[in-house]
Structure 1
Amino acid sequence: MTKTYAMTGGASGIGAALKESLQARGDRVIVVDLKNADIIADLSTVEGRQHAIAGITELATDGLDGFVACAGLPPVAEPLSLITQVNYFAAVATIEGVVDLVAKKNGAIVSVCSNSAPLPGLNEEHIELLLAGKEAEACALIETLDGHNAYAGSKNALTKWTRRNAAEMMRKGVRLNGIAPGMTRTPLTDKVFADETLGDATREFSKCISYGDLATPDMIADAMLFLLDPAARYVSGSILFVDGGQDALLRPDQF
């Protein structure tokens, strides 16, 4: 039986790999992105998020078997507030906007977090502003900080939001989980490696991946397929690290 999924950020990278996997098995995939998508929307704006939700609702009147908030920007994106807007506020808004559609089919939602979320030294005020839903204040603060705080901070907040909201969504029949990819070979990662400020540090950080290499997008997509599948029907509120063992190496006693 054909299933219907929707995702943001499905035009390239990890999202594109997931889309291809779903379509290869005969599923229908509704993609939201800036280009090459079923719904063209700028998720950095409130209007763009509303347009995306309205478009998904129109195309999935019978409900969704799953939704993935995959759209994201790297730590080298400018201005930094764009990272805050897309990585956190757009993810939360679109998940909240489609949860009733997913509930119609007792489906699953996956938020794309990151193994960078637990890294030390993040600005706690920024994270708290995100979790409080104070977009203007969070955007103003992040412009005084740096790309690491913008990216890892937004993913830290999204991870916490996912955990905090999983129980309520489970009561609606919706499984909400997060996936925490490590470094993955995508165009966004290439931009980080090429950056004069973050490139060297990022390459050095990649050396502690136990697997010995960066992930390919299909490796992350395969884990997403599990979280979307009924095989994971008892999994709710989990953050699945798919990072070649990097998080376990860095935080062996934290779980």
Structure 2
Amino acid sequence: MTDGSEGRYAGLFRLDGRRVAVVGGAGGIGREAARALAAHGAEVLVVDRDAEGAAETARLADAERGGGAVPYALDVLDEDAVRAAASEWGPLDGLVVTVGVNVRKRIADYSLEEFDRVVALNLRAHFSLVRAVAPGMAERGGGSVVSFASMRAFQVEPGQGVYAASKAGLVQLLRTAAAEWGPRGVRFNAVAPGVVRTPLTDQIAADPDWYDAYAQASALKRWARADEIAGAVVYLLSDASTFVTGSVLTVDGGWTAVDGRYDPSV
């Protein structure tokens, strides 16, 4: 017995005909997200301050899709440049923002300059990009915005105070955006990775004890690869998630589930 809708799910994750900007696409999670989106048919704008890295990502994305990826140099902390870029990009169906930075210091050791740097890139830049892109999506009746938070938005440790605060703030910003633009069809969601081996985690990887402690803290007992986060981005940009907004998709290997603590012999 069928309902007459055979094949309705075959293209659920396809992104053919959709234009997506991946901001922070020159490397790490952004690069793998761009490649995955292209592989599912999206036309990808690879946006980054690192023009050379963005061009390399565009080349890799082209190999996945057979062309269509375009690199775009942008400093996301330049408000005027962000507005101009959004105008140049034209209509977007999706926006992915992966930019972020961490300065691992205890609160008493933080300088105001370091505080401003972390908050500027982890929160203000996302705010600027949302303001530049979301109104156009709303005018066209829909779109999907995905920003990268972190499990540190919910679970902290010494030395993560400002980073954690910025990521928690980003989650609430996206939830508010979901409420404000939801009636006009624009969705906003966060991806919250656990520990992922990218340049952002070089400081940890350089310390074998620290690196291993993080590996052992998750249910899977290892770090993530950047490509293991890309599927979450594809899902949130695709029709598989049309009723998902204001949410946080945690991709942390079970770290927050098992709490990263001692395993008693009970």
Residues 1:81 and 2:90 aligned together: no
Partners of 2:146 and 2:171 lie apart in 1 by 11
Contact 2:178 / 2:246 at 8 angstroms: preserved in 1? yes
Which residue of structure 2 lines up, in the alignment, with residue 72 of structure 1?
100
**65-74 or 184-193: bigger deviation:** 184-193
SS in 1 for 2:253: coil
**88-97 or 17-26: bigger deviation:** 17-26
Partners of 1:173 and 1:151 lie apart in 2 by 31
Partners of 1:237 and 1:171 lie apart in 2 by 13
SS in 1 for 2:99: coil
Contact 1:72 / 1:83 at 8 angstroms: preserved in 2? yes
Contact 1:65 / 1:105 at 8 angstroms: preserved in 2? no
Which residue of structure 1 lines up, in the alignment, with residue 188 of structure 2?
176
- Alpha-carbon deviation of 1:200? 5.2
- Alpha-carbon deviation of 1:226? 0.4
Aligned pairs for 1:115-126 (under 5 A) are 115-120=151-156
Partners of 1:184 and 1:233 lie apart in 2 by 27
Which residue of structure 2 lines up, in the alignment, with residue 110 of structure 1?
146
Residues 1:101 and 2:136 aligned together: yes
Deviation digits for residues 125-149 of structure 1 (CA, Å, limit 9, x no counterpart): xxxxxxxxxxxxxxxxxxxxx9512
Under a length normalisation based on structure 1, what TM-score does the superposition of the two structures give? 0.78
SS in 2 for 1:116: helix
Instruction: Say which of 22, 40, 58 aligns to 2:73.
Output: 40
Partners of 1:49 and 1:84 lie apart in 2 by 15
Aligned pairs for 1:12-27 (under 5 A) are 12-27=27-42
SS in 2 for 1:14: helix
Residues 1:52 and 2:82 aligned together: yes
- Alpha-carbon deviation of 1:203? 4.6
SS in 1 for 2:177: helix
Partners of 1:51 and 1:147 lie apart in 2 by 33
Contact 1:6 / 1:29 at 8 angstroms: preserved in 2? yes
Instruction: Say which of 221, 232, 238 aligns to 2:230.
Output: 221
For structure 1, the 5+ residue unaligned runs are 122-145
Identity of aligned residues (%): 35
Residue 232 and residue 40 in structure 1: after superposition, are their counterparts in 2 closer, same or farther (change >3 A)? same
Contact 1:162 / 1:177 at 8 angstroms: preserved in 2? yes
Contact 2:192 / 2:248 at 8 angstroms: preserved in 1? yes
- Alpha-carbon deviation of 1:246? 0.7
Residues 1:242 and 2:242 aligned together: no
- Alpha-carbon deviation of 1:21? 1.2
Q: Aligned residue pairs: how many?
A: 219
- Alpha-carbon deviation of 1:79? 3.4
Under a length normalisation based on structure 2, what TM-score does the superposition of the two structures give? 0.75
Contact 1:39 / 1:52 at 8 angstroms: preserved in 2? no
Contact 2:100 / 2:121 at 8 angstroms: preserved in 1? yes
Partners of 1:58 and 1:147 lie apart in 2 by 40
Residue 75 and residue 200 in structure 1: after superposition, are their counterparts in 2 closer, same or farther (change >3 A)? farther
Partners of 2:24 and 2:214 lie apart in 1 by 25
For structure 2, the 5+ residue unaligned runs are 1-15, 55-70, 106-112, 261-266
Contact 2:195 / 2:214 at 8 angstroms: preserved in 1? no
SS in 1 for 2:229: helix
- Alpha-carbon deviation of 1:95? 1.2
Residue 20 and residue 120 in structure 1: after superposition, are their counterparts in 2 closer, same or farther (change >3 A)? closer
Partners of 1:228 and 1:29 lie apart in 2 by 12
Which residue of structure 2 lines up, in the alignment, with residue 159 of structure 1?
171
Q: Give, as a single letter, the amino acid of the residue that structure 1 aligns with 2:148.
A: V
Deviation digits for residues 225-252 of structure 1 (CA, Å, limit 9, x no counterpart): 101111100011110100011111229x
